């Protein structure tokens, strides 16, 4: 699908962006003409450039033979209309991975989240509209926290989803679609690296509440979801991976194993939910099963496709619904080499 295309990844130096760029360079979706990583952090861009230059076995040698032509880095900010308009000038496919995503940070600095998560999305839409740009597809990356949001991060991401869905009415030449997924295994700031560090120090492990559950998926599965949406999604549709969920206490117990390490309950942080939801009860009646994904049809009637044979799932999809046992959690963490004693590597650093 992406052969000969010019691609822009906003927030391309983040956790998702790194793995997405690596997968794009692999040619599995076709060999693009150019991939532009667009972000405001020059230090991360420098590190990422060096990593991709040195890890030539990460992708086809043919691709890396033309590395300078294929992969470019551009400093800019989705908050700035001018820089967005400039970077999208020749783009045909845009992956919007730029986000403020740490829940407590967004609670303490809510307008900063608005500027990146909402105004950034609107700038992409305006740049395409006002510049008459030939962008074919925009993929908005969202989060389970956007579903029935109770925190600023989720609220701003929910608005981003609605902005992109609505944009399909104004820009019939561009397909705007979204993906929504939960917690990523071993990404920076997630619970597993925290538990590893606390175990190395001899404890205690801090748990916000004993009942908390979370969806768990790898960044590779997140990118799989993006590619599935890119291939199959209709205008305004939102793709959601069907992935396992676990109690945070079971994750802690799986990592502790037979060690004598105390766990303490510290209370829910600002903006946290006990359980996460990927499809709300209200959305369930316009949500279909499509292979290993759930697909939320757009709310706007002008964008709903003709009557389909599929029946809607008709029920909420919550992390509390089908929780793995402790043994299943151990198996999942072992398969991803995330148990204590494994050589721990952050998911986004797995470029090879």
Looking at the chain, which runs of residues are DSSP E strands? 6-10, 34-39, 71-75, 93-96, 137-143, 175-181, 183-184, 205-207, 213-217, 238-241, 245-247, 263-265, 277-279, 287-290, 293-296, 317-318
Structure tokens at 40: 């405001």
Set 5, 18, 101, 145: catalytic member: 145
Distances 34 to 124, 175, 343 between C-alpha atoms, Å: 19, 20, 34
145 is catalytic: yes
Q: Is 1 helix (H, G, I), strand (E, B) or coil?
A: coil
d(CA 5, CA 132): 18
d(CA 93, CA 7): 5
d(CA 111, CA 136): 30
d(CA 24, CA 86): 22
Q: Is 337 helix (H, G, I), strand (E, B) or coil?
A: coil
Q: How many residues does the chain have?
A: 352
Structure tokens at 41: 């952090």
Q: Which residues are catalytic?
A: 145
């Amino acid at each position: 699908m992406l052969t000969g295309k010019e691609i822009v990844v906003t927030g391309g130096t983040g956790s998702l962006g790194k793995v997405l760029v690596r997968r794009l360079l692999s040619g599995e979706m076709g060999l693009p003409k150019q991939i532009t990583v667009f972000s405001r952090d020059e230090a991360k861009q420098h590190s990422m450039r060096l990593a991709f230059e040195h890890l030539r076995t990460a992708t086809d040698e043919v691709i890396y033979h033309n590395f300078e032509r294929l992969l470019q880095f551009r400093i800019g900010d989705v908050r700035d209309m001018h820089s967005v308009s400039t970077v999208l000038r020749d783009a045909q496919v845009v992956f919007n991975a730029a986000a403020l995503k740490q829940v407590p940070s967004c609670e303490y600095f809510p307008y900063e989240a608005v500027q990146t998560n909402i105004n950034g999305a609107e700038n992409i839409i305006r740049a395409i509209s006002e510049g008459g740009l030939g962008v074919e597809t925009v993929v908005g990356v969202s989060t389970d926290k956007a579903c029935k949001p109770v925190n600023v991060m989720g609220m701003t991401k929910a608005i981003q989803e609605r902005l992109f869905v609505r944009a399909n009415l104004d820009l019939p030449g561009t397909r705007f679609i979204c993906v929504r997924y939960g917690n990523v295994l071993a990404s920076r700031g997630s619970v597993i690296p925290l538990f590893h560090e606390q175990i190395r120090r001899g404890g205690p492990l801090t748990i916000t509440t004993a009942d908390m559950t979370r969806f768990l998926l790898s960044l590779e599965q997140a990118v799989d979801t993006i590619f599935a949406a890119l291939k199959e999604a209709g205008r305004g549709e939102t793709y959601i991976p069907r992935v396992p969920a676990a109690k945070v206490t079971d994750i802690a117990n799986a990592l502790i194993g037979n060690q004598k390490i105390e766990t303490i309950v510290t209370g829910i942080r600002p903006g946290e939910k006990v359980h996460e939801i990927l499809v709300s009860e209200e959305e369930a009646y316009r949500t279909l099963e499509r292979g290993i994904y759930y697909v939320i049809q757009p709310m706007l009637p002008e964008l709903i496709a003709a009557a389909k044979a599929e029946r809607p799932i008709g029920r909420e999809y919550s992390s509390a619904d089908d929780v793995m046992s402790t043994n299943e959690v151990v198996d999942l963490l072992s398969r991803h080499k995330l148990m204590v004693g494994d050589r721990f590597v952050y998911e986004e650093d797995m470029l090879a």
